[in-house]
Amino acid sequence: MKRFCVAFATTLISVVANAQYWKAVGLGTLGPTSVQTLYGDSISDRLLAGGTFLHILNENDTVLAFGQAAWNGQRWDSLATRIQADGGGEGAQQTFWFLRFQNQLYACGHYGFLNNEGQVNRSLARLNEGTLHWENLECINPSIGGMETLVPKEPQATLYATGYMGSICGYPESCVFRYDGSAFHVWEPFNLIPQGLNDAYVGTVFDFQGKTYMSCSLPDPVDGSGFVSFLRWNGTAWEHVPGWNTLSPIKDISIRNDTLYVAGTFTLADGGPGNLVAAFSNEQWSDMGGGLFYNPVPMSGVVWDLEWFHGKLWACGQFDQAANLPAHSIAHWDGHRWCVPPGDFRWIFNSQSKLLDMAVWRDSLYVCGGILTVDWDTMKQVVQWIGGDAVDDCSTVGIGETTQPVPDGHLLITPLPGEDSWTVRFPHPGTWKLEVYDATGRFVKHIHTEGQAIEFNLASAAPGIYIVHTKDVHGSAWVRKIRNP
């Protein structure tokens, strides 16, 4: 039983619906391999999948795919030819992701292939859609370990090859080269960064509001001491990104309505501007309602991907809490609060990161990762969201408080004389579990009760906004916001 969520001020009203919210896409891959990336290609009208697999399964056949496959709405097929396993069999190849630049399809990853001249090219490729052969980009990328990625994944005017220190097209070693669609070029701003580190790394490079941003692991070129994980180039010099004080990496970015959204492994505790996800606008960061959390092992929490779908920003990765709500590694942000889509995900044994990537294709959202079942139905690795606007629950973070009385039959929280105590009247008698979280979504306290009313206090808690969340034995939920003086 799942619920649709409708918000009126701070009141969340749930209506019960019976539906299937996720649909299987194929039968997964063979062996200890996985689908790790998805790309909705509107030009070829196919959903592309990449990963570590050699074979991918349909209901009635098995496709030899070498880490790349295409879904036409009914079945998987191989995508193209030439890319092969680099040095081995099952799982030895890996496609990181696909993107289009100047209307041509590109791929990057851990693989190799022979071009028309019999030369071995690695990691970077462009698809010849006439011959369906992958080709090298004007010059050979000779070895894995340096340039392995093409960025940004969101379309922009310039494409970059990035990675660890390496050479391409005979240029001196660098962590980033600019690509214009017909040739690689040295990217001069990188030469202003202190050199000499074997593990120097650049992740993504992109433009935002007239400046070029770069995620990285590099010596600090601004003050000359320490390391940095996020920088921006103003046209003449490198700058720190205001408010970014963590070395934790960024895994994905998205730009919408003059706002930059970033996701990764950063947390407020290690100096990040949010927990696993944050928004940057007008030179200020927002923690997006406190962000997302992975409570079993907090330092293993991650958001791998951000995707816009029907006006909401979806996030997936490894987390079990969105603001004050339980979550199965996926949630969406509507600009004010987090909502959690229904779906009880169960994971493939030893799946380290639960959900790895998302894509929108034919006005549907697709998700991939270490999925074994959803709502106890077998759905291996790739699923399609068919639940419309259904949600299990939504947080109240970011929604203004109301002074209107709550009618009988609903959750009523009333301040008691003093500064830090409240009485709670539940909608009906029974067994209740009440949980209190701070404004960042951190757990504060819980209370179990049998009855219809209790009292509680926050005498030991800091002043600020707190979220009170409760569920009855049937799973129906109520959420309220209070202020601790």
Residue 8: phi and psi, rounded to 5, are -125, 105
Q: Report the C-alpha gap between 357 and 265 in whole angstroms.
A: 15
CATH architecture of residue range(s) 412-484: Sandwich (2.60)
Confidence at residue 474, expressed as pLDDT on a 0 to 100 scale: 65
Residues 311, 315, 316, 320, CA torsion sign = negative
What secondary structure does DSSP assign to 230-251, as a single string?
A: EEEE-SSSEEEPTT----PPEE
pLDDT value of residue 84: 74
Do residues 348 and 370 make contact, with C-beta atoms less than 8 angstroms apart? yes
* CA separation, residue 456 to residues 145, 301, 414, 478 (Å): 57, 31, 11, 17
In 3D space, the residue among 331, 334, 309 whose CA is nearest the CA of residue 321 turns out to be 331
Distance CA 43, CA 264 (A): 29
pLDDT at 403: 32
- How far apart (Å, rounded) are the C-alpha atoms in residues 463 and 482? 11
The whole-angstrom separation of Cα 128 and Cα 108 is 15
How far apart are alpha carbons 441 and 454 in whole angstroms?
A: 23
Task: Give the domain ranges of the chain.
Answer: 412-484
Strand ranges in 234-370 using DSSP code E only, listed in sequence order: 238-240, 250-256, 259-264, 277-281, 284-286, 292-293, 302-309, 312-318, 321-322, 325-326, 330-333, 338-340, 345-347, 355-361, 364-369
Question: pTM, whole model, 2 decimals?
Answer: 0.79
Cα–Cα distance, 278 to 103 (Å, whole number):
30
What span, in angstroms and rounded, lies between the C-alpha atoms of 68 and 284? 40
Q: Tens of pLDDT along the chain (485 residues)?
A: 333 333 333 333 232 333 379 999 999 999 889 999 999 999 999 999 999 999 999 999 999 999 999 999 999 999 998 887 554 444 458 999 999 999 999 999 999 888 888 889 999 999 999 999 999 999 999 876 688 999 999 999 999 999 999 999 999 999 999 999 999 999 999 999 987 667 899 999 999 999 999 999 999 999 888 899 999 999 999 999 999 999 999 999 999 999 999 999 999 989 999 999 999 999 999 999 999 999 888 889 999 999 999 999 999 999 999 998 999 999 999 999 999 999 999 998 766 679 999 999 999 999 999 999 999 999 999 999 999 999 988 987 544 333 333 334 457 787 776 667 888 888 777 788 888 887 666 788 888 888 778 888 888 888 877 888 887 666 666 777 787 87
Contact 10, 479 (CB under 8 A): yes
CA–CA distance, 433 with 477 (Å, rounded to integer) = 10
Distance between CA atoms of residues 431 and 369, nearest Å? 37
Q: Rounded to an integer, what distance in angstroms lies between the CA atom of residue 60 and that of residue 26?
A: 10
Both tokens of 7, joined, read 């918000």
39: which 2 tokens? 């790309």
Give the three-state DSSP class for 423.
Answer: strand
Nearest to 184 by CA among 196, 205, 167: 167
Segment (H or E) for 351: none
* pLDDT given at position 404: 34
